[in-house]
Structure 1
Amino acid sequence: MEERPTGIQDSDVRHALHGWGIDPVSWEYAPVGFGDYHWTATDTRDRRWFVTVADLTQKSWYGDGTPAAFRGLRDAMDTAVALRDADAQPHGLDFVVAPVRTAAGETVRALGTRYAVSVFPLVPGTAGHFGETLTAHDRGVVVDLLTRLHRTAPPASARPLPPEFATRPQLDSALKELADPWDGFGPYAEPARQLLADHAAALRRRLDEFDRRAGELRDKGAPLVVTHGEPHPGNLLRAGERLLLLDWDTVGLAVPERDLWLVADGPDDLVRYEETAGRKPDASALALYRLRWALNDVAEFLELLRAPHDRTPDARQSWDALADTVTTLAAEAV
């Protein structure tokens, strides 16, 4: 996030690092990504760290309330560590950028009642960007990484993740509350209402399509595998000749298509996965998860813009993304 979190200070985060035996001598806020807050730190032994603070109120896919969000985030980070160290692989899944544990064995520590902190080694490399177009070669590399991931035995901490998205009630509620102005929230609330009002019928058709495809997937009873959830270019780190996968807070058990739709850019990528994984991707499941991503984005952006906000860079980014996603969903409605 470009903006720093409210309710905690840099000193709170620095103090939390004592659980990892880290005493920073240099410290800098890193305004990158969207959703979590990040710092880079160098300690007294010249080791470099990437520190992530998660806002537990924005992790609704783990369950209701911050205690459920903390448990879910802990399970996800435990899963990432287990995958990195997977016994079935000669060197584990060495493309997994996982957190380091505290002296007490924790991958996540609470920071007050709203936030949680994790610590990662700062890996030298070049991070990608969401929306970036990968070359055919790089897509092939990512498909191969996903094959390795999907063929790995699930750690005990990996949670099953149904295709339904936790923010669906917020989207349904917003579509029912379009008659009156959304006053009192902030500068982008009323434009968001007008946008939804203009495309409400199309969005409801897309929700019906989602429900139909989700029902079809459940009826098929396809086996679940360990999935990353968001293997897009923004979560890739180029370290020399290697590509690494970042941000494992969405890891969980699902069908492979949960990952593949974000990577495959045509039949060649899907054939490559089928040949290496021994499992043919399902076209309807790919469409389901593509649609799920967009609908969940709409719900999350609406949740931010229907809460008190100012004309900040993060609020503007949410509004721009909401407008783009809603118009695209409407244009593709049948």
Structure 2
Amino acid sequence: MGLDEGDLSAALAAGWAIEAAAIDYLPVGAGSFHWSVTDDHGRSWFVKVDRDGPDLRRSFATALALHRAGLDVVVAPVPTLDDAIVHPLPRGYAVTVFPLLDGTPGDFGPHHPEDIPEISGILTALHRATPAVADLAPRTDLRLPGRHDLEAALSDLDRPWTSGPHAEPARALLHRHATRIQDWLAEFDRLTEAVRATTPTWVVTHGEPHPGNVLRTPAGPRLIDWTTVRIAPPERDFWMLTTMLGAEPVDLGLPLSPTATALYRRAWILADVAAFTTDLRTPHRDDADTAAALTYLTGYLD
């Protein structure tokens, strides 16, 4: 990214009047950069840097509006001195500041059965808050991230991939399962057409309410990472409680659509397959990340 701590300190001072006394990089999350910052008064902040853009700003503005509407479970950004959501950084990035809460996050994966009623209640309250952000939150377009690259890879399986040490094993894996992936894409399209007709029932959703985005604090659970917030079918959240990968199906006692639930389960798998394929088809080195990408891709397909 090329951001140094001087740029970050200057942005914090200009945007929030935070004079950083200590800045510690946090190797957490994916697609963003994070720091723990202690200011000269001893207060601590969670600082997040992302690619700037309208969707990012609308997502964080939505989180703040939900918090202001009374949803304490939403960990919302701290507004800047001029009540903005982010402060711009060089090279198209933006910084956002959050309170650094005392709590413990969970791990990615299915929720523990004993936690499901509590999380279901939190999501239900979130969905009921839709009127507060109906004109603010981004809306889902039901498109599959990375689809173009995945289809390009599927059309390029008859010649060697030379982009890196894991490229050929990835090509061989996709070659064995090309028909299966095409069937998944066709299923995704059929499900999407059916779900698109349910637009009037869509609500504000978090998008990834797995345990890794639930912070257990002394004041109760808090939902973090609102970059994925969208107006969407409620099943976009609830599928992670009912059919999360590797979990036994759970009946929440809610009127959920099996079609929408199936769509989001299939979309999650396909988006991961597309992302890992792109990682391995483009230039890469033999490191822990690319080895993990091949392992995860193999897990989905084999």
With the length of structure 2 as denominator, give the TM-score of the two structures.
0.91
The one-letter code of the counterpart of 2:30 is F
Q: Residue 41 of structure 2 corresponds to which residue in structure 1? A: 45
Q: Residue 158 of structure 1 corresponds to which residue in structure 2? A: 137
Contact 2:111 2:210 in 1 (8 A): no
Q: Residue 146 of structure 1 corresponds to which residue in structure 2? A: 123
1:8-56 CA-to-partner distances (Å, cap 9, x unmatched) read 22332222212121111111111112222211111011111111122x3
- 1:30-41 matches, cutoff 5 A: 30-41=26-37
- 1:177-188 matches, cutoff 5 A: 177-183=156-162, 185-188=163-166
Contact 2:86 2:94 in 1 (8 A): yes
Could you tell me which of 270, 284, 291 is aligned with 2:252?
A: 270
- Aligned residue pairs total 295
Q: Following TM superposition, by how much is the alpha carbon of 1:241 offset from its aligned partner in structure 2, in angstroms?
A: 5.8
**RMSD across aligned positions (CA):** 1.8
Q: Residue 194 of structure 2 corresponds to which residue in structure 1? A: 216
Segments of 4+ moved more than 3 angstroms: 219-222, 265-269
Is the counterpart of residue 94 in structure 1 residue 72 in structure 2? yes
- 1:240-251 matches, cutoff 5 A: 240=218, 242-251=220-229
Could you tell me which of 3, 15, 20 is aligned with 1:8?
A: 3
Gap change, CA 1:106 and 1:150, over 3 Å in 2:
same
1:296-329 CA-to-partner distances (Å, cap 9, x unmatched) read 11112223333332223333333322222233xx
- 1:309-324 matches, cutoff 5 A: 309-324=284-299
SS of 1:95's equivalent? coil
Which whole-Å CA distance do the structure 2 matches of 1:39 and 1:195 have between them? 37
Which whole-Å CA distance do the structure 1 matches of 2:92 and 2:2 have between them? 9
SS of 2:91's equivalent? coil
Which whole-Å CA distance do the structure 1 matches of 2:280 and 2:16 have between them? 36
Which whole-Å CA distance do the structure 2 matches of 1:43 and 1:269 have between them? 47
Q: Residue 66 of structure 1 corresponds to which residue in structure 2? A: none
Gap change, CA 1:161 and 1:220, over 3 Å in 2:
closer
Which whole-Å CA distance do the structure 1 matches of 2:87 and 2:165 have between them? 35
Q: Following TM superposition, by how much is the alpha carbon of 1:220 offset from its aligned partner in structure 2, in angstroms?
A: 4.4
Which whole-Å CA distance do the structure 1 matches of 2:215 and 2:86 have between them? 22
Q: Residue 65 of structure 2 corresponds to which residue in structure 1? A: 82
**Any stretches of 5+ residues in structure 1 without a counterpart?**
1-5, 57-68, 87-91, 275-279, 328-334
Could you tell me which of 23, 27, 35 is aligned with 1:27?
A: 23
Contact 2:61 2:85 in 1 (8 A): yes
